[in-house]
Amino acid sequence: MTVPFAPSPRSSVGIEWELMLADPETGDLVPRAPEILSALEESTALERYTVTSELLTNTVEVTSGIGDTVAAAVDDIADAIGAVRTQTDPRRVELLSAGSHPFAQWYDQEVTEKTRYEALIERTQWWGRNMMIWGIHVHVGVEDVNKVFPIIGALTGYLPHLQALAASSPFWAGDRTGYASNRALVFQQLPTAGLPWPLDDWAQYESYLDDMTRTGVMADATEVRWDIRPAPRWGTIEVRACDGMSTLPELAAVAALVQALVEQFSRDLDEGRELPRIQPWYARENKWRAARYGLDAEVIVDQAGRQVPVVEHLRETMDRLADVAVELKCAREFAGLETILATGGSSARQLAVADGADGDLREVVRHLIREFRGGPTLREHLATLG
């Protein structure tokens, strides 16, 4: 099977953000996406951003255009959210984002009427119906198809760092799970989801797709649901490992880290350096540790098995990439990573709210709604950084 990799500007950025729709009084999810999307269809048809459906009718997804910078992509996202609010506010529907909803139950949710979603549920049954998960996807352009799998291999070593920064699903269906990112472990139950296979080049990827389509495992490359995957149609590497970020500045910070990592790895390849890759069994252990402990995790960072607290290794990485972030014009967004490290991220904030409310998870939802609506816009956040 031949799969073309589209031309793409190097280190360009695209962002997708899945948002929950909730009742402002009860905090529960509401199946209002079809009417909201229908009302927005005409007014958003010519915009750079898109607003689309997802697996469940309690969700809308906002997607940026192709940005030269993280700020440009995030501006698109902010514009998309503004458009969504023109329809949700009059309907008294609130928006929020996290990797999971603190107390919603799968059996109360409705599946979007799309053939591919219905086929997914039919095949996956209980696990598919339990996919009450929300995430972000960050695309970064790669100008040479021969770079794609070396970069994916190197990025896999940083998946626990990205998971830990974004961890925001400590509750599931009313239970305190003990995991910072329960979503990470739920999502990998889907066929073709989870860690990417350690492929060396594009030819191996085409062979993989040929095997999977020939045996009926999937229809095409869009059904590859790896935590990091190629997006051949767009000419990008797509990082899909992160929980839904709870605020726009946090989203921008993680997108900046992904962009800077991809650009640095691309430069290393240009200079003839072999990119680092850890053993698959280390990558699997790292994913579990980041899901369980979030920013308190200790991760394996090289083939020798050296173990370092993820926060410490993140700061080392941030120091190493600081100049790259400046050159990519995302230094201020990149600086937002330190804010996440200082606050412990969304998972820690949710747990603190629950503890302060004697375990009332409705208060956690209200907290997430307030963060999403009342937290600083990206421009306001950046202004505080000088």
| Domain at 243, CATH number | 3.30.590.20
Look up residue 101 and give its amino acid: H
- Residue 383: the pLDDT is 54
In one-letter notation, the amino acid at residue 300 is: I
Q: Which domain holds residue 56?
A: 13-379
Q: Write out pLDDT tens, residues 254-302.
A: 999 999 999 999 999 999 999 999 999 999 999 999 999 999 999 999 9
Q: Please give the pLDDT value at position 381.
A: 47
Task: Give the whole-number percent of the chain exceeding pLDDT 70.
Answer: 97
Q: Which of 20, 293, 253 is nearest to 170 (CA)?
A: 293
Distance CA 240, CA 17 (A): 11
Q: Is residue 1 part of a domain?
A: no
Please tell me the predicted confidence (pLDDT) of residue 128: 83
Q: How many domains does the chain have?
A: 1
Apex 346 CA angle, 126 and 60, nearest 5: 55
Is 331 part of any domain? yes
**pLDDT value for 375:** 57
| pLDDT score of 168 | 98
Structure tokens at 3: 């799969």
Tokens 């070396």 sit on residue: 150
Separation between Cα atoms, residue 386 and residue 305, nearest integer Å? 40
Residue 321 has pLDDT above 90, yes or no: yes
H or E stretch including 299?
strand 298-300
Residues 6+ apart with CB under 8 A from 236: 8, 12, 14, 139, 140, 141, 142, 230
Chain center to CA of 332: 20
Instruction: Determine, yes or no, domain membership for 386.
Output: no
Asked whether residue 5 is assigned to any structural domain, the reply reads no
Q: What residue type is 201 in one-letter code?
A: D
Tell me which range, 103-112, 128-137, 274-283, is most confidently predicted by mean pLDDT.
Answer: 274-283
Residue 85 located in a structural domain = yes
254 in a structural domain: yes
pLDDT at 114 over 90: no
- How far is it, in rounded angstroms, from Cα 221 to Cα 217? 11
Average of per-residue pLDDT across 85-102: 98
Look at residue 231 and tell me if it is in a domain: yes
Confidence of residue 117 (pLDDT cuts 50, 70, 90): confident
* 2 within a domain of the structure (yes/no): no
First-to-last C-alpha distance (Å) of the chain:
51
Q: Mean pLDDT, to the nearest integer, of 351-371?
A: 97
3-class secondary-structure state, position 174: coil
**Average pLDDT for 180-197:** 95
Q: Shortest CA distance to 59 belongs to which of 30, 86, 20, 23?
A: 20
